[in-house]
Amino acid sequence: MADISTLAEPVRFVFDGHAIETGVRTSLLQAWVGAGLPLTENVGCMGQGVCGACRVLVRRAGERLACTALACETLAEPGMQVSFLDHFPASRPHAYDLRALTDSWTAIDRIDAVFPEAKNCRHCSGCDRACPKGIEVQRMVNLAAAGQALAAADLFDHCVMCNLCVAACPEHIDPAHLGQFVRRMTASLTLRPSDLIMRLHEIEEGRQPIDPDAPGANPLVAP
Amino acid sequence: MGIPYARAIDAWRAAAPAAPQACALAVPELLRGFHPDHRPGGMRVLRAGASAGSPCPAELADLLQADSPLEDVDIAGAPMLETDVLVIGGGGAGCVAALTAARAGARVLLATKLRIGDSNTVMAEGGIQAAVGAEDSLQRHFEDTLRAGHFAADKALVAALVSDGPDAIRWLIQEGMSFDLAEGAQRMGGTLLRKTPGGASAARLLSYRDFTGLELMRALREATLLQPGIVTLDRHPAVELLTDDRGRCAGAALQDLGRGRTVLVRSGATVLATGGSGRLHVAGFPTSNHYGATADGLVLAYRLGAPLREVDSFQYHPTGIAWPRHLEGALVSEAARSSGAALVNALGHRFVEELRPRDVVAAAILREIAEGRGVERDGCTGVFLDTPSLEQATPGILGRSLVTLTHLARRAGIDAAAEPLLVRPTLHYQNGGVAIDPACRTVVPGLLCAGEVTGGLHGRNRMMGNALLELVAFGRRAGASAAADARGERPRNVGLTHLADWRRALIVQGLPLGRKAPVIFPAYGNFDIAPARGRAA
Ligand SMILES: Cc1cc2nc3c(=O)[nH]c(=O)nc-3n(C[C@H](O)[C@H](O)[C@H](O)COP(=O)(O)OP(=O)(O)OC[C@H]3O[C@@H](n4cnc5c(N)ncnc54)[C@H](O)[C@@H]3O)c2cc1C
Ligand code: SF4
Ligand code: SF4
Ligand code: FES
């Protein structure tokens, strides 16, 4: 990769067929709007890198293979070829209702019921290569298929739901949604904070009244 | 303007860790002198509409007093969808309202501008407030919120917020959101990790790492997409609300960006959850907000006759990135200061207690910059956020709990453990908005609002962590009210009759009809809604 921070020249590259010229240290998304192109999709957080909306396919100069990236987190480099990737909503035939999942003994069986494809993983690591956040997607899928819900959930901590792994998976496993399922399931079944529970009891019993006329609820009046 | 970076970094190094230092200026003078809300000439008095006579930032006033991009002919023959509850906005408040209304038995249509979840909610970092600590109470949360808002908030709304707090957290856990636990605590029966938000009298901020909003939005997005009874429409921003012949809000006209056509939705009740307005770049500031935060909801509700409140009050978050330019405005969470990171000027001095309310800290930073004690680097000016001293005092903290900050520093090309970040205030939150009651109803029958689009809850300054709680607490209230209201009489003779009155009001005030709003995207998005109708974007 060229060290672009030392370049004085404008950066020239191609984005969705448009020849774009931009300054150094400009994100792909900033270069797109800077070139006067309309931006009405493939954008959300605009640089924080958390919404996963700005999926692009990037081929760097001199490289043969293209890779996936987030346009707001990737700086434009000379000779890059970039194109936006459409958003692939996962079609999920097996909906689940977390609130109906009350028997924790059967929770792990639910992974297989909701994501039956997970056990068919071919270990092709297409998902790992697709993930712009470096998440071990394949390992998560395999852990989840083996019922190791907490370990699987932990691996998906940083997922931004860009769904690139969903698009990459030849077995239609929907890894991102499987990851989210195990994360949601473990939280809703195992998180029972005592301080929260105590406070809820107090509120129910009327022991947390609110007094709108208390001195602290009103501005100080000068004596 | 400021002191060159090389000299400032030497001063910082020589003094680190700098000793605490209170701001010498009294709070009222500090705010009046340096807070952007008080900049001379920044406000305009609204002339048309339900809040005529109130001050409002010029950038927003232009939109509030603009004409609709729609005419009668545009809706004639447009396809019409039917639903019980229409939710506009697919951020946190919208998803919570949709879920609640659907579970109450209503058919729900959720229309959003970008993709569901692309919002300010997913970007929230620091956490969510709820008074769960043994030494804490609802009353304390109530008083802290009122005090932080300079006692301008509606007490009934604040009481609703704080008393819903603990149950909102339980609800989020039931939806599958995780929360950090106190050091060494067990998932079953342990206690929640609590931090102290700026301006609070107790540790009350619950979090999930420093990406609380991402964790929340991931769970809510899945829940919404899987909930029977909710239809979602991405890339369908609302461009106008519809009314019926009795003045009731009867739904909305949406722009289908993919096909370039107008779609009408007729609904028994409509929930506006369109979030904030950071992308208006009020006072020329950079913003921490997502790309779609262009005040659309304020414009739509106002045109229909709903009064606004405290729209002259904005929150400038003290710590936005000041350098490098490609990250300008990006947020460095208050979690950094809550964990002990200090603010240091170019002389190596601290100049304000870092955990004062945000307006105070932001004004103090702007003062340092205005008076020449800022740090200048490549033409950008800010002050230091001393992450290296924090890492030294609490080894491992950057990698462990300030993950987003560390990631951001890496993208800025620096190692936060070795070099301080350069920060300055960034436009962060719209403190005011559409006036509502505790059931989320506006004065317009059939129109409800929830989340950042509303006003009255935060007074003139919002505490960290109250916005996430707001979207859950009031999202649920709005969903329940909407489901109930939708069972009433259905709207009849649906159309744009309110626009005739609105245009007359603009003309009477000598305001131009040529300006159209909502704008949908910021100007640099190279998209104009008015000529774009009838074309795919
Ligand atoms: C970087 C950042 C960090 C933050 N950190 C915290 C924190 O730690 N704690 C805290 O409490 N708060 C925090 N906040 C504030 C908080 O995140 C927001 O106030 C809150 O999420 C707003 O929720 P909302 O649902 O009202 O709006 P949003 O989440 O912004 O959702 C609004 C939705 O409406 C859509 N929309 C807009 N216009 C239209 C239209 N015309 N038609 C259809 N859809 C439309 C938008 O695209 C978006 O999807 C933070 C905010 C930011 C930006
Ligand atoms: S795990 Fe999948 S959805 Fe999550 S960030 Fe990686 S590619 Fe995107
Ligand atoms: S892409 Fe699908 S099949 Fe391939 S390793 Fe990943 S989960 Fe398994
Ligand atoms: S715009 Fe959100 S990840 Fe790029």
Q: What is the CA radius of gyration of chain B?
A: 23
B88 lines ligand 1 (CB under 6 A): yes
Q: CB–CB of A45 and B291 under 8 A?
A: yes
* Residue B219 distance to chain A (closest CA, Å): 7
| pTM, 2 dp | 0.97
Instruction: Match 């769970």 to its residue by tokens.
Output: B219
The pLDDT value recorded for residue B537 is 66
pLDDT: is B212 or A89 the higher one? B212
Confidence band (pLDDT; 50, 70, 90) for A88? confident
Pairing of strands B308-309, A11-15: unpaired
Q: What percent of chain A has pLDDT over 90?
A: 85
Confidence band (pLDDT; 50, 70, 90) for B532? confident
The pLDDT value recorded for residue A3 is 42
Is B290 considered catalytic here?
A: no
The pLDDT value recorded for residue A9 is 82
The pLDDT value recorded for residue B442 is 98
> In the predicted model, what is the mean pLDDT of residues B117-144?
97
pLDDT per residue as tens digits for the range B352-403: 999 888 899 999 999 999 999 999 999 999 999 999 999 999 999 998 888 8
Q: Look at ligand 3, atom 1, and give the residue with the nearest C-alpha.
A: A169
Instruction: Match 């509303």 to its residue by tokens.
Output: B454
Size of interface A-B (CB pairs under 8 A): 197
Show the CA angle centred on residue B460, arms to residues B458 and B465, nearest 5°.
40
Which residue of A38, A44, A183 is in closest CB contact with B290?
A: A44
Instruction: Match 């829940």 to its residue by tokens.
Output: B223
Confidence band (pLDDT; 50, 70, 90) for B490? confident
Measured over the CA atoms of residue B441, residue B444, residue B450 and residue B455, the dihedral's sign is negative
| Alpha helices, H only, B375-517 | 387-393, 397-400, 403-411, 466-486, 497-508
Q: With a CB-CB cutoff of 8 Å, which residues 68-87 of chain A face chain B?
A: 73, 75, 87
B316 CB within 8 Å of a chain A CB: no
Q: With a CB-CB cutoff of 8 Å, which residues 179-198 of chain A face chain B?
A: 180-181, 183-188, 190-196, 198
Look at residue B439 and tell me whether its pLDDT is greater than 90. Answer: yes
Look at residue A4 and tell me whether its pLDDT is greater than 80. Answer: no
Complex-level ipTM beyond the 0.85 threshold: yes
CA distance B499 to A4: 52
The pLDDT value recorded for residue B494 is 94
Out of B296-305, B350-359, B469-478, least confident range: B350-359
The pLDDT value recorded for residue B141 is 98
> In the predicted model, what is the mean pLDDT of residues B492-497?
92
The pLDDT value recorded for residue B99 is 98
Contacts of B77 (CB under 8 A, 6+ apart): none
Look at residue A73 and tell me whether its pLDDT is greater than 80. Answer: yes
Give the Å distance between the CA of B277 and the centre of ligand 1: 9
Q: What percent of chain A has pLDDT over 70?
A: 95
Q: Are B195 and B189 in contact (CB under 8 A)?
A: no
B123 lines ligand 1 (CB under 6 A): yes
The pLDDT value recorded for residue B534 is 65
**What is the average pLDDT score of chain B?**
95
Give the Å distance between the CA of A169 and the centre of ligand 3: 5
Look at residue A194 and tell me whether its pLDDT is greater than 80. Answer: yes
Is B337 considered catalytic here?
A: yes
Give the Å distance between the CA of A171 and the centre of ligand 3: 7
Which residue of A36, A46, A200 is in closest CB contact with B290?
A: A46
Confidence band (pLDDT; 50, 70, 90) for A8? low
Out of A156-160, B237-241, B357-361, least confident range: B357-361
The pLDDT value recorded for residue B462 is 94
Burial class of residue B37 in the structure, from the number of CB atoms within 10 Å of its CB (0-12 exposed, 13-18 middle, 19+ buried)? buried
Q: Atom of ligand 3 at shortest distance to CA of A168?
A: 1
The pLDDT value recorded for residue A5 is 47
Helix (H) or strand (E) holding A129: helix A126-130
